[in-house]
Amino acid sequence: MSVRRRVAALAFTAVLCGAAAPAAVAAPSPSPSSSAPDLPEGLYGTKDPTYDGVWRQSLAFLAQKIELVTPATKSVDWLVGQQCDSGAFASYRDASRPCDDKTVADTNATAAAVQAVVELGVHREVVDNGVAWLKSVQNDDGGWGYNPGSPSDANSTAVVNGALARAGVPLADLTKAGGKTPYTALQTFALPCGGEDGGAFAYQPDKTGKLAANADATAAAVLGAMGKGMAAGNYNAVKAPVCTKGDGLTPEQSAQNGASYLAKALAGKGYLDLPPMPGAEESAPQPDFGNKDAAADSVAYLAKHAQGWAKEGGPAATAQLVLAAHATGADARDFGGVDLVRQLNATGPAPAATAVPSPTATTPSKPADTSSDDEGLGLWWIIGIGLAFGAGIGFLLSGRRKNQQL
C-alpha cells in the first residue's frame, strides 16, 4: 500500500473508529420494549426501529449492492412502503396508516432511502418522488435541516447532496435567492484556514453565530461538498490535501480543507474528539482514547473490533464496516476473520441472490487523476477520507433522531 493510500485509509477508517463507533455504543437504537412497535416482516435488525428503521435498511441495501448481493423483494417492498405520498420518508412509521400532519418527515432518512433505491435500480418513482420532496424543503440558504423547516446543518445538507447527485440532479442548479446553492450552504459551516481548527466544518453555528470544529460534520461535509453518495468504490490516494486560504473557494477546495483538518487531527494524536450530541446535555468533547492504536494500522484496528461493533450497532454498523472494507480494498467477507457480508445478510430476510467471491477480494482499477499538482485538489484523496464516514454518520444521526423526537 502506498504511503498516500495508507494515509487516506488511516484518515477515514480512524474517523470511522473515532466518531461513528463510540456513538453507536453511547446511543444505540433502543432495544425493543412493551411500547416499541412490532417488528415488520422484511425489516433488517431486531432493535426498535423508531429512530433508525429507514436509515439502517437503506445502509444495508447500499452495502449489499456494493458486494453484489440482491436483497429479498419483501425487504425492498418494506422500504418502498415507508414512503409518504409527499415523497418524504419518516425515520420509521406504521405503513398501515397513511402519513398525516403528525408524521415527522426526515430529510436524512429520505436521502438515505433515495440513495439505496437508486443503487438497487428499481422503483424509479420512489427516487423521483423523494427527490421532488427534498427539493421542495430546501432552505433559503441552499441547505437542509434534519426536519423540513429546521435550520440547515452540515450533516443533513451533506447527505441530501449525496442523494440528489446520485439521482442525477445537478446541485449547482438548485439555486435559491442570491445564488445560494447546496454547495454554498455547506461552505457557510466551514472554518477558514490559518487557525488551530482551520479547514474544519461546524455542525451548525451556536447562538452567537460562532462556528466550532466538529469532526462528524467535517467528514460528512467533505463527502457532500464533492457531491458523492454513501456507496462508492475503492480509491487510491493521489496526494495529501492542503488548506487553501481566501474567499471564493470552490466546493472542491472547501472539501480539501476539511480533509486537511481531519488528516492533521489524526496525525497529531491518532483519534478524534467526540462532540456532544445535539440536544444532549452540554459537556466537553470526549476523546476516544482507544483509537491511539489505530494510528499504526487503522485498517487492522478496525478489523479487530469489527465483530463487537457490528453486534452492538446491528445492520447499520455491519453495513458501515462493509462499505469501509470496500473503500480500503479489504475483503468484506474476511475482515478480521469476520464475514461481514454473511453477517449483514443474516440480519434480514435471505437475499434473492449473492455473489461469490466478494468483489473486494480483488483490487479495482484506480480512477484517473484529473487534478494537477498545482491545483492541489487531490480529488480521489478527498473522496477517500469522506467515504466511510458518509455511512458512519448513521450512528450519530440515530442519536440525534432520538434526542430530537423524544
Gap between the Cα atoms of 135 and 133, Å rounded: 5
Cα–Cα nearest to 226, from 194, 198, 200, 258? 258
| pLDDT at position 265 | 72
Helix (H) or strand (E) holding 163: helix 154-166
Please enumerate in sequence order all residues whose Cβ is within 8 A of that of 217, keeping only pairs 6 or more positions apart, or say none: 153, 154, 155, 158, 189, 200, 201, 202, 203
pTM of the model: 0.80
- Inter-residue contact 92 to 50 (CB < 8 Å): yes
Residue 39 has what pLDDT? 87
Task: In whole angstroms, give the CA distance from residue 136 to residue 167.
Answer: 16
The whole-number pLDDT of residue 222 equals 84
Residues 6+ positions from 293 with CB-CB distance below 8 Å = 270, 301
> Residue 260: in which H helix or E strand, if any?
helix 251-269
Q: What stretches in the chain show pLDDT beneath 50?
A: 1-35, 234-238, 269-271, 274-297, 361-406
Bridge partners (DSSP) of residue 201 are 190
pLDDT at 164: 97
Percent of the chain with pLDDT over 70: 66
Residue 186 CA, distance from chain mean position:
15
- From 112, 161, 153, 155, select the one nearest 135 (Cα to Cα): 161
**According to the model, what pLDDT value does residue 325 have?**
77
From CA 383, how far away is CA 253, in angstroms rounded? 12
Q: Which amino acid is at 380?
A: W
In this prediction, residue 171 carries a pLDDT of 94
What pLDDT, on a 0 to 100 scale, did the predictor assign at position 240? Answer: 65
CB neighbourhood size of 361 (10 A) = 13
d(CA 205, CA 298): 31
Letter for the amino acid at 158? A
Give Cα separations from 60 to 70, 253, 261, 334 (angstroms).
11, 31, 30, 18
- pLDDT of res. 149: 93
Report d(CA 331, CA 325) in Å as an integer: 6
> Is 198 exposed, middle or buried (CB count within 10 Å of its CB: 0-12, 13-18, 19+)?
middle
Q: pLDDT at position 7, please?
A: 35
The crossing angle, in degrees rounded to 10, of helices 124-136 and 154-166 is 140
DSSP class of 276: P
- Strand partners of residue 390: none
The per-residue pLDDT for 232 is 56
